[in-house]
Amino acid sequence: MVILGLFALNLGVYAISNQKRKTSVEALRRAISSQILIADVNLRLNDKQKQIAMLNQAITESGAGASSADVANFVSQMDEIRSKVKALEALSGPEIRAAVSAFGTEFDSLANSWVAFYRNFGVNYSVAITELALRGDPISQHLLQQTVPQLLESEKKRVDETSATYYAVGSVADRLAIFIFLASGVTSIFVAVRLSKHVARGLKDLHVGAAMVGSGNYEYQIPIASADELAQVAVTFNHMSTQLRVARDELTRASVELEKRHVEMEKQKAVSDSLLLNILPSQIADELRAKDFVDPKYFEDVTILFTDFVGFSNSTRNLSAEDLVYLLHDYFTAFDNISTRYGLEKLKTIGDSYMCVGGMPARTSSHPVDTVMAAFEMVEAVKARRDKGPGWGVRVGVHTGPVIAGVVGIRKFAFDVWGESVNLSSRMESSGSENCINISQQTYLRVKDFFACESRGHILTKDDIAHEMYFVRDILPSLAGQGVPPELFSKRYGIYFQRQPPAFPAALANAPAAC
């Protein structure tokens, strides 16, 4: 009877302790599952936030938007996360259920904001940025930096408490079992020891698995050696680990695809930037990209150069359209290369007239001298083509003064200048002579220390106003010498402008006059 009583007591104690263990294991399983699910949601949210951040850095006003398939895929991914949040609510304990419910509500707002951004990026730039700045970023920061860490900490505490309860129950049960088993016999003690080792091994496996997943090793699987509650927890853990691995692989593929799209967008942006820089000066292009418009600018001191071909009108009657365009292209290409060499900004061509400006948009003090040197090269370029082409000559007019510059219009816009200085420069050209450089008094005062100039007196222009004009003939004899540029010329240039000449007309070193 004593043995039977002890056996019955043993059964009773075992039944009670086993029930408590079962309850603790189930709570532990739910807590670990909830913890893994929170980690999964946290991982997906972090990856989506990075994806949104990369899109935010790459987009431009005119960039390509997401396709309908991309938007649908993005919405589907948000729904997957939402379903995991719903599953988390079912697994969460009563102490954090309200926090999980609030997390679900906050995630819905974040998902709606991100979907709105994804639909509008590259399509409606202002709406996408406003949605991300006013709603998406604050909510995502709050979720990832406060809400999710708090939930993880709560679930960790829940796991620790459940484990402590389990161990406490096991400890009491083991003591009673040892006492009863001592009375009942060696067999009962053996069974109790085996059971304790099994449970400890299962919990250790769970602890190791959680540590491996926490370190990012989603390939780790807990070995299953039984079919009890610990095995069920292990199966659930392995399933979660597999899901995390699949999610990581999907996110990796998505990141690679996103990087490819980013590279393609950068290539398209480089092409558009190159086209814009071919139309506008770099500083003006930067301002246009930044503000979508260009503020008018006042340049108090620039040098404007106009050219016009002598004999062009007769050529239009004798040359075919194809030959005429080819010749103009050849001449103006040479002028473009010369302007670039001397730091001049080409503004436009009007018929057979070529216009460029020195001293803008980058302000320099040497622009009058640089423009005159460029004019010498342009005259020589025309002379060099006289025998190969229609025998055109060229008139060059140069004037120095203030202008107003800006960009007008929204289609086929161009950078242009306005003011009396533009008109005077044109008058210098129309009042000049073939293959001569005709400059105004303002330009003469700025270049007379470098070039030999011939005064023409006051010349009446077509607007019935007399302007003092000069022909530039050569560099000053005192600056001539060996080298290109001559050493004395370079020395004076350096003293006046604190830098070396950008180039020098080879004709000035070999021929004495421009016309």
Task: Give yes or no for residue 357 having a pLDDT over 90.
Answer: yes
Higher model confidence: residue 154 or residue 408? 154
Overall domain count for the chain: 2
Q: Is residue 274 part of a domain?
A: no
Do 257 and 306 fall into the same domain?
no
Expressed as residue numbers, the domain containing 393 is 293-510
Task: Give yes or no for residue 27 having a pLDDT over 60.
Answer: yes
Region of poorest pLDDT, from 12-16, 253-257, 479-483: 12-16
**Strands 436-440 and 466-475, bridge-based pairing:** antiparallel
Q: Is residue 260 part of a domain?
A: yes
Mean pLDDT of the chain: 82
pTM score > 0.75 for this model? no
Q: Is residue 282 part of a domain?
A: no
**So what's the pLDDT on residue 491?**
95
The arithmetic mean of pLDDT across residues 252-257, rounded, is 86
Do 319 and 204 fall into the same domain?
no
Do 105 and 169 fall into the same domain?
yes
Q: Which of 234, 268, 302 is the last residue of a domain?
A: 268
Inter-residue contact 244 to 214 (CB < 8 Å): no
Inter-residue contact 202 to 61 (CB < 8 Å): no
Region of poorest pLDDT, from 51-65, 130-144, 400-414: 51-65
In total, the chain counts a number of residues equal to 515
**So what's the pLDDT on residue 147?**
83
* β partners of residue 350: 353
Q: Which of 268, 283, 315 is the last residue of a domain?
A: 268
Q: Is residue 281 part of a domain?
A: no
Do 174 and 222 fall into the same domain?
yes
The arithmetic mean of pLDDT across residues 386-408, rounded, is 87
Sign of the torsion angle spanned by Cα atoms 452, 453, 454, 457: negative
Local confidence band at 372 (pLDDT 50, 70, 90 cut-offs): very high
Do 235 and 141 fall into the same domain?
yes
Task: Give yes or no for residue 474 having a pLDDT over 90.
Answer: yes
Specify the DSSP element, H or E, that contains 393. strand 393-408
Q: Is residue 75 part of a domain?
A: yes
Q: For residue range 420-465, what is the model confidence (pLDDT) as tens digits?
A: 999 999 999 999 999 999 999 999 999 999 999 999 999 998 888 8
Q: Residue 55: phi, psi to the nearest 5? A: -65, -40
Do 434 and 472 fall into the same domain?
yes
Q: Which of 252, 268, 284 is the last residue of a domain?
A: 268
Do 42 and 136 fall into the same domain?
yes
**So what's the pLDDT on residue 409?**
67
Of 182, 206, 197, 159, the residue nearest 38 (C-alpha) = 159
Inter-residue contact 407 to 415 (CB < 8 Å): yes
Do 391 and 495 fall into the same domain?
yes
Do 382 and 433 fall into the same domain?
yes
Do 311 and 385 fall into the same domain?
yes
Q: Is residue 199 part of a domain?
A: yes
Local confidence band at 466 (pLDDT 50, 70, 90 cut-offs): very high
Q: Is residue 206 part of a domain?
A: yes
Do 242 and 326 fall into the same domain?
no
Inter-residue contact 157 to 149 (CB < 8 Å): no
DSSP string, 153-198: HHHHHHHHHHHHHHHHHHHHHHHHHHHHHHHH-HHHHHHHHHHHHH
